[in-house]
Amino acid sequence: MRAEAQPLIAREGWAHVGLSLLAAVAVTLGLDNPWVSLPFWLAAAFVLQFFRDPPRTPVTGPGLVLSPADGRVVAVETTDDPWLERRALKISVFMHVFNVHSNRSPVDGVVRQQWYHHGAFLNAVLDKASRENERNALWLTTDDGQDVTCVQVAGLVARRILSYVQPGQRLARGERYGFIRFGSRLDVYLPLAARPRVGLGDKVRAAESVLAELPR
């Protein structure tokens, strides 16, 4: 599968990048001391790196579940999937502010349902963030009938979860479907028979790292 064509800066960040660069230029031109403008340029650089969105080439292979986000694995456990009311293998990826924040589909499948819940803004690295924070859950069904739940969870400073899909839409593995502004996490709930391919603390990249294998 070839890497998709897309802007290198996420469209969600165009306004933020433009405003931060405009402020830095305005301060630089309006003051005689260039050092005073340094914090504005540093802020613009931070905004620019936060909203970067490099293209990815998804890993291929039967039954593979890809990471929906860049970050670090903070949970690999058997627990309850509150969305589909089943026991499931849960793998969670924590994104800090220096990770790419585009979210991508972990599997090839059809969107069956989507749920959005208001909530708190606890530190996303905490396990209770999955239950108490603002979140958006996506229920996907693969071509062979296996259910996967992918949940965007807001973090301590995240205040905006974006999802661009609707029930009935088909997503390709690794396809971009959403974005979360600032630190957050993604929870993936899989059938109990799925075999994890990552462990706690592993660093993963959206679409390019395998989280697990679905049973076949």
- Check if the beta carbon of residue 200 is closer than 8 Å to that of residue 170: no
Average pLDDT over residues 12-32: 78
- Check if the beta carbon of residue 129 is closer than 8 Å to that of residue 118: no
Residue 10 in tokens = 């996420």
Average pLDDT over residues 48-70: 89
Distance CA 150, CA 47 (A): 26
Residue 160 in tokens = 């905006």
Report residue 22's pLDDT band, with 50, 70 and 90 as the boundaries. confident
Query: Residue 213 pLDDT more than 90?
Result: yes
Name the more confident of 31 and 63.
63
- Check if the beta carbon of residue 150 is closer than 8 Å to that of residue 107: no
- Alpha helix positions (H), the chain: 14-30, 38-50, 129-132
C-alpha pair distances (Å), 36 with each of 20, 32, 33, 40, 41: 15, 9, 6, 8, 10
Predicted local distance difference test score (pLDDT) of residue 131? 64
Query: Residue 124 pLDDT more than 70?
Result: no
∠ CA 64-210-149, nearest 5°, is 65
pLDDT over 70 for what percent of the chain? Answer: 85
Average pLDDT over residues 38-50: 79
Burial of residue 199 (CB within 10 Å: 0-12, 13-18, 19+) is: exposed
> Helix, strand, or coil here: 123?
coil
Query: Residue 194 pLDDT more than 90?
Result: yes
DSSP class per residue in 160-172: -EEE---TT-EE-
Residue from 43, 49, 52 nearest 23 by CA = 43
* Catalytic residue positions, numbered: 184
Name the more confident of 56 and 154.
56
* Arithmetic mean of pLDDT over the chain: 85
Amino acid code (one letter) for 91: I
- Check if the beta carbon of residue 104 is closer than 8 Å to that of residue 206: yes
Q: CATH classification of 64-213, choosing from 3.30.420.40, 2.70.70.10, 3.40.462.40, 3.40.50.300? A: 2.70.70.10
Structural domain spans, the chain: 11-50, 64-213
Of the listed ranges 37-46, 107-116, 135-144, the least confidently predicted one is 37-46
pLDDT tens digits, 71-99:
999 999 999 999 999 999 999 999 888 88
pTM of the model: 0.81
Report residue 125's pLDDT band, with 50, 70 and 90 as the boundaries. low
